[in-house]
Amino acid sequence: MRRVVVTGMGAVTPLGETAAEFIQGLNRGISGVRALDTPWIGQLASPLAAPVLTAVESQFPKLRRLVLDRVAQLSLLATREALAQSGLDFRGETGTECGIFWGTGMGGAHTLEQAYSESLLHPGARPRPTTIVMFMANSSTGQIGIEYKIRGPSFTYSSACSSSAVAIGEAFTAVRSGRVRHAVAGGGEALLTHGVMKAWESLQTLARPDTLHPETSCRPFAKDRSGFILGEGAAALVLEDLESALARKVPILAELVGYGNTTDAGHITQPDAGGQGRAMQAALDQAGLKPGDIQHINAHGTGTLVGDVTETQAIKQVFGKWAERIPISATKALHGHLMGATGAVEMVAVLGALQQKVVPPTAHRYHPDPECDLDYVSEGARALEQLDIVMSNSFGFGGNNAVLIAKRFHP
């Protein structure tokens, strides 16, 4: 089996338009949560979301925009940054040695909602001819291949909140086995539409707004938590086998060493500590690591009443006596819940922590929950003397659990 390293990463998030801005924003405790000012926001119980503030559309020519939903635009920008950092250019024959592994929960939600709205409100209206190719789930995957001339195998994964973590894990598996030499892996999501936000609101999983400090409304692992804030964004990693990276003499950001994927097989929305624990254990086993080797965890940490307790229990089951010694961050408090993109975005967060030896905070946890009694880094970003092995958890509706482990690269 080949060793798999990361040579590029990119991110477009509510905290900035690059991976570096995202990591810096996390460490400074900056919240991307704000009130939306769209015409329909008054029809919702809460106006809060975590939008990308970057002028995304302006970065594409008008004709190109005609076939790109917002999720594809975000995905292309994140991929562009990751490929630029990696130094890979697939306009030649090397494109056949690269695969695309991309995750999304809903695909082109903006395009789909616009098509339904126009058709239902105006029966004589004709949807745009590009509607299908803009909202289909694999649209971003296809557009990445077109834009960057990647000609190897491509896959689109949709498993709710774990989608892009699964995509990275499967890319890791493909590079490790020699199926591809390089991989672009990650995910994108753009769900801040009237219909989608209304649907999430009806599920009663969205956080109640804090009237004095709305930017602090998402409070993972806190006693007064009430849910998550929907966000949008995209993140991409460039993975390749170690031999290729060394031959190209490019900086290596980290090494991926473990991936675990399990299914709860219990309830479509209620998480299961056993399923989550099996995914963490599977990642440890593949990496050949013991519980005491993990030095930081980026928790799924959505801020829901049931979810945070369940994840706490799962970590205790797997790590035993080591559980209380591991610094754990829940970054959704700051960047929102990016659904299908969240696993990739949080993988950028843990790689940033690995590089800087600084773990981001679990923000807004002013009142700790006694049932969530692990070290949830509530005081702000924390510098560590040693940080070499990190884990990222992603758990999705449908009962899919995906866990990734990375370590500092040593030749």
Catalytic residues: 161, 300, 337
Residue (of 355, 365, 291) closest to 323 by Cα position: 291
Number of H-type helices and E-type strands within the chain: 13, 14
Residue (of 378, 336, 386) closest to 361 by Cα position: 378
How far apart (Å, rounded) are the C-alpha atoms in residues 144 and 80? 9
How far apart (Å, rounded) are the C-alpha atoms in residues 141 and 72? 8
Q: Are 349 and 298 in contact (CB under 8 A)?
A: yes
Q: Are 345 and 233 in contact (CB under 8 A)?
A: yes
- Tell me the torsion sign for CA atoms 189, 193, 199, 201: positive
Beta bridge partners of 406: 256, 390
DSSP-assigned states of every residue in 251-296: ---EEEEEEEEEE--S-SSS--HHHHHHHHHHHHHHHT--GGG--E
Angle of CA points 194, 196, 202, to nearest 5°? 100
Q: Are 255 and 237 in contact (CB under 8 A)?
A: no
Q: Are 329 and 359 in contact (CB under 8 A)?
A: yes
Contacts of 320 (CB under 8 A, 6+ apart): 291
Contacts of 262 (CB under 8 A, 6+ apart): 275, 276, 278, 279, 282, 400, 401
Contacts of 404 (CB under 8 A, 6+ apart): 165, 168, 169, 172, 256, 258, 259, 283, 343, 347, 391, 392, 394
Tell me the Cα Rg of the chain.
20
